[in-house]
Amino acid sequence: MDVDTRHWIGGRRVANADTFEDVSPLDGEVIAVVSRGGTAEVDAAVAAAKDAFVGWSRTSPAERAELLRRVAAGIEARIEDLAQVETRDNGSLLRSHRRGVMPRVAMNIRFFADHLSSLVHSDFDTRGHRNHVTWDPAGVTAIVTPWNAPLMLATWRIGPALAAGNTVVAKPPEWAPLTASLFADIAHEAGLPAGVFNVVQGLGNEAGAPLVAHPDVRRICFTGSVPTSIKVGESAARNVTPVSFELGGKSPLLVFDDADLDLAVDLAVEQFDNSGQVCLAAVRMLVQDGIYDEFRARFLERAATLVQGDSRDEGVDLGPLVSKSHFERVDGFVKRAVAGGAEVILGGGPNDELNVATGGFYYRPTVFEGVDRTMEITCQEVFGPVLTLQGFSTEDDGIAMANDTDYGLAATIVTGSQERAERVASAVRAGTVWVNCFFVRDLSAPFGGSGRSGIGREGGTWSFDFYCDVKNSVFAPKGWN
């Protein structure tokens, strides 16, 4: 289908002479030539958003909520279009986009529209003075999103930002920019006023950098790598601009000897979802010694049955990695791990047969054994279909290994004991802990990372605490005419 590859600024399409090629990881083909923005386009988009903020921030919460519900309805009407485009763009499974990801995009918008009605704080008294708390719109919000679930992760921030009364300038990922453009069309058709939502496409150092450094941006949301977040944070600090960061992960899957092994194996195999390109994935499998051998055998047997291929095929379990450069990055991690003494017990390299046949960037599901805490493969985020398997003896040992990381985004625990589940969940350092489940997300719950996995919490009222200037007005009991 046709996707407009120009910027969306101030309610109209804007092109510029510079472009970049958008390559599909399914087959290595160029699927779009996209406008390549820079400082000029960023300045224009921020100016449009700043102008639009005056009117948008003064609309009532009920008006904003109704408009956003129309946007959500527009998304639902185009789920198939969005799913097809994003699968072609970033290589994620089409069935996942149809059944889960794109419906969640609509839910992201609708949830925060609905949540506005519950955004109240009871007045309270201080020595006869009345305290009244409000959430006031903050201003222009910059949203820089990643390529692994570009539209879903963008609307996780766009939803509350717009609902709060802010205006938005979004910089989509250059490896998967197309659904952001479709979202702009949908929002416009729903009646969102010009300048309230803007899209500037381009490379990180050319479009992202001037956006996060802009003095008229009042909130910055970034999802991506730790090194890039440091640069974003330095720019934000110069303008004292609040930031919300969702960064990397090196999450543990803790399997205790009282666990349901069928469940444990199911959860372990699920960590290959989206070819491992999931920040929340529990890539460090830590299994108690008493069940280690049985878990290992059953997990490897199941993982070996995963089907890799074109993500548009219903029977495929793993698609490609998002780009040639990311494919080479993942392969570099694997080669260095082998050179460092880690043992490959599954996969261990590219799917050469499939890559030759398709021209895509497919990497085999890979599992390492014989690793330790000093190795790069256990310390650094690979962001590919690469897991490590280690044993532990006691509960305390398992907790210590789980926490032996600079990251703290998530953790998954598998145990048959509620008492142990409570103890371990309390002791593990992570923003989200799943017990006998994985990837259960409620939009009203706080979400964010500890350590190098991020700054801040979003979800429910926590989102509005970030996107708004929370104000307390104190009224004296006397002095009225």
Cross-strand partners of 245? 222, 455
Place of tokens 């303008």: 239
- Active-site choice (174, 279, 381, 468): 279
SS3 of residue 10 by DSSP:
coil
Active-site residue flag, 174: no
Active-site residue flag, 246: yes
SS3 annotation, 285-314: EEEEHHHHHHHHHHHHHHHCCCCECCCCCC
Residue 19's H or E segment, with its range, is strand 19-23
DSSP codes joined into one string, 32-97 = EEEE---HHHHHHHHHHHHHHHHHHTTS-HHHHHHHHHHHHHHHHHTHHHHHHHHHHHH---HHHI
Let me know: does 361 contact 26? Beta carbons within 8 Å: no
Provide CB contacts within 8 A for 182, sequence distance 6+: 3, 78, 81, 82, 85
- Active-site choice (174, 206, 246, 395): 246
Would you say the C-alpha torsion 440, 151, 408, 258 has a positive or negative sign? Answer: positive
Bridge pairing between strands 284-288 and 252-255: parallel
Residue 412's H or E segment, with its range, is strand 410-414
Would you say the C-alpha torsion 381, 452, 471, 213 has a positive or negative sign? Answer: negative
Q: Let me know the angle formed at the C-alpha of 113 by 219 and 168, rounded to the nearest 5 degrees.
A: 30
Let me know: does 387 contact 368? Beta carbons within 8 Å: yes
> In whole angstroms, what is the distance from residue 225 CA to residue 230 CA?
9
> In whole angstroms, what is the distance from residue 129 CA to residue 147 CA?
50
The structure tokens listed for 458 are 């979003």
CB-count exposure of residue 465 (10 Å: 0-12, 13-18, 19+)? middle
From the DSSP assignment, how many helices (H) and strands (E) are in the chain? 17, 22
**Residue closest to 114 by CA, chosen among 403, 438, 464, 473:** 464
Query: Which residue numbers are catalytic?
Result: 246, 279
